[in-house]
Structure 1
């Protein structure tokens, strides 16, 4: 395996996970800002590594495998931190929907690849919109404080609810695309 810039950025996201946790729990008044900045930086590297890989033809099998793993790990950890800060039924529901859908869609993609139908469940525009809303929501939830008179945490909660609904919608789209293969008796 040869490391290239997109793969290094992906590995950096994985390395940032324990850093995010340590910073989040560090007993200082600025740690919420630092945690939000770490997550926002990781979100930008998620977009950047894919753009670099496509633009300069640096795509690799390892990178294609590792990128969604890094994304899902970072988001799941950040969502768990958010629920720990605000352990309400709604927050728990939205986080469970998002994490559960990620696990289900990952399993669906793996199974579809196994039967040679991976292209039926490739990432669609709706999934990209869901990811953008989710990344902004999580950044707001980690930031937690009002900023310029705006209730950032409350905005994050509403965006998270929107991301959860988009998550369900995109998950149903993936399931609908895969359904003929799922019920095909010849596979």
Structure 2
């Protein structure tokens, strides 16, 4: 089913590509410099061959986004589920000095990776941090109501940026 629905989704979302309709300089720089970055990063050559064949076809794009997000943010504290071993590898390749946790530490986090909504985790993200929700499909309403300043709906993935100096805005992006 995904084989046929993804091109249809792409066509429906075509007007949301490449940052069209984004009028915030911060959000536009984030989209063009991180989300739509086409330059092959240094770690792709070593990490991609370790992926199972099925994951290379379906998940590589999202894992590359995680690496670029970690590289852009350079977080001190990252929270990722324990079963997300490939995601953890890509996150650490993007920011080698980050402390990686399987559950929320008491001090909060700079970057949180979630597979399903978690209100406690959403409140634990520090100012200037990012929350990434993998599997956004059934949780769009929860995602839009996060206390984050900027939320980006990338169809399968949601990226929320917690930046207190920015006004709240939600963007739908064709990724």
Identify whether the pair has TM-score above 0.5, normalized to the shorter chain: no
More strand by share: 2
Give the TM-score normalised by the residue count of structure 2: 0.26
Q: Which has the higher contact order (CA 8 A, sep 6+)?
A: 1
Give the TM-score normalised by the residue count of structure 1: 0.25
More helix by share: 1
Larger Rg: 1
